[in-house]
Structure 1
Amino acid sequence: MLPDALAARWHALTAPLLPAAAPRQAELQRLAAAYSAPERHYHTLGHLENLLHQVARFPLQDAAVVELAVWYHDAVYHALRSDNEEKSAEWALAFLAQTTLGPARAARVADLIRRTHDHTQPQPPADADLLLFLDADLSILGAPAAAYWAYARQVRREYRLVPDLLYRPGRRKVLARLLEAPVLFHTPALRAELDAPARRNLAAELAAWERGGLPAE
């Protein structure tokens, strides 16, 4: 079920861009249905709420653009596909074409979404909004251990069609790549808050997979 506070936040964000309530409500229902799909366990409305909370903690140069990117960044999510970010960006652009946002800012929303495809790639060091958005998307890595293990299990359930024989080496590769990244969090405040626990969590999960699998709940 879509929380009332989340719906209110959507309408506060989009009403200045699209005064007509009906298309805004219809789009909200589409997004809520996508994030609530039964095959999703981590990439849900809860993940969306966490990102909105994280980006709201810090000043932004263009808060509307960043929040729109948050809403759409996992609008399309199929665990076994590699084009989720592109499809999510296309969905965002289709809606934003109905609004007064303007093509340059709409393109910026799409670019932010596309950049979530690989968090280990170098990013423009002066793009504060982008860096905060990416850090927010990774913030679960630095969560308390219990929340992190819940996340790890949720991601595994999203890949439930992949047997452990194949999932284990793939997940180990992802974890190792994150651990090897010299910078996980670009925003100084989030780096100070999350980097050390994130690396502990990643190392613990990697060790678990090297032993054979995630610990029981």
Structure 2
Amino acid sequence: MIPTTLEARWRHLTTQLGVAEPLRDATFRQLTAAYEGSGRHYHSLTHIRTLLETLELHKTLVQDAAVVQLAVWFHDAVYNPMRDDNEARSAVLAQEFLAKTSLPAERRQRVTFLIERTKDHTQPQPATDTDLHLFLDADLQILGAAEADYWQYARQVRQEYRLVPDILYRRGRKQVLEKLLGASVLYQTPLFRQKLDAAARRNLQAELRQWEKGGL
């Protein structure tokens, strides 16, 4: 039976890795506290659940499910909008945990690699890395969501950057949107590209126009 709650999913995953119960529970509390922090609005436990459910839905495309799930759990564990090294710091947090598990070093490094690739979704990706492709597409699927869901996401991201003045946020956000729109490839898998690319570009264009008018 597929675990349904996030805690059950975490327990199922970490049991496969031979994680002792005290470490399993302590790390779950640590991750929960991080994703439920007062500054989290989009990069929250809801985001983690969405990614895990997406992986489950497309599990026939996944080669190393445990590694990809670990990357999901840790990829936004460190999230400070005022810093640019969140992915690297999240990867370090993952490695500190994984060093205490039975996961071989090569697969631990794969977790780090997957997490660090989320820093820039527009960078060229290895052509044959299907687990990476699905992970990145799942992370970016919100861009191609229904219009109302996309605008909720855009507002939530703005809330996460609430300490940044509007004039600076507008400039930075426009750069992000333009970079995404300028990417020849937004989604790495044919499945997500066909399903979400057109909608994602419409949403991104709409938000860009809104910022050019002054803001959300």
Q: 1:107 offset after TM fit, Å?
A: 0.5
Which region of structure 1 is more displaced relative to structure 2, 51-60 or 112-121? 51-60
1:170 corresponds to which letter in structure 2? G
1:42 corresponds to which letter in structure 2? Y
Residue aligning to 1:97: 99
Residue aligning to 2:132: 130
1:99 corresponds to which letter in structure 2? T
Identity value in percent: 59
Q: CA RMSD in A?
A: 1.1
Residue aligning to 2:27: 27
TM-score by length of 2: 0.96
Residue aligning to 1:110: 112
Aligned length: 212
1:86 corresponds to which letter in structure 2? A
Q: Is the 8 A contact 2:78 2:86 kept in 1?
A: yes
Structure 1: gaps (5+ residues): none
Q: 1:19 offset after TM fit, Å?
A: 4.3
Q: Show structure 1 runs of 4+ deviating over 4 A.
A: none
Q: Is the 8 A contact 1:141 1:197 kept in 2?
A: yes
1:55 corresponds to which letter in structure 2? L
Structure 2: gaps (5+ residues): none
Alignment CA distance shift 1:197-1:30 (3 Å): same
Residue aligning to 2:192: 190
Deviations, residues 71-106 of structure 1 (Å, cap 9, x unaligned) = 000000001100100000000000000100110000
Residue aligning to 2:212: 210
Q: Is the 8 A contact 1:18 1:24 kept in 2?
A: no
TM-score by length of 1: 0.96
- Separation of aligned partners in 2, 1:191 and 1:20: 40
2:11 corresponds to which letter in structure 1? H
1:211 corresponds to which letter in structure 2? K
Residue aligning to 1:49: 49
Residue aligning to 2:151: 149
Q: Is the 8 A contact 1:18 1:98 kept in 2?
A: no
Deviations, residues 52-81 of structure 1 (Å, cap 9, x unaligned) = 111222221100000000000000000110
Q: 1:18 offset after TM fit, Å?
A: 2.3
Residue aligning to 2:15: 15
2:105 corresponds to which letter in structure 1? P
Deviations, residues 123-154 of structure 1 (Å, cap 9, x unaligned) = 00110000110111101001100000000000
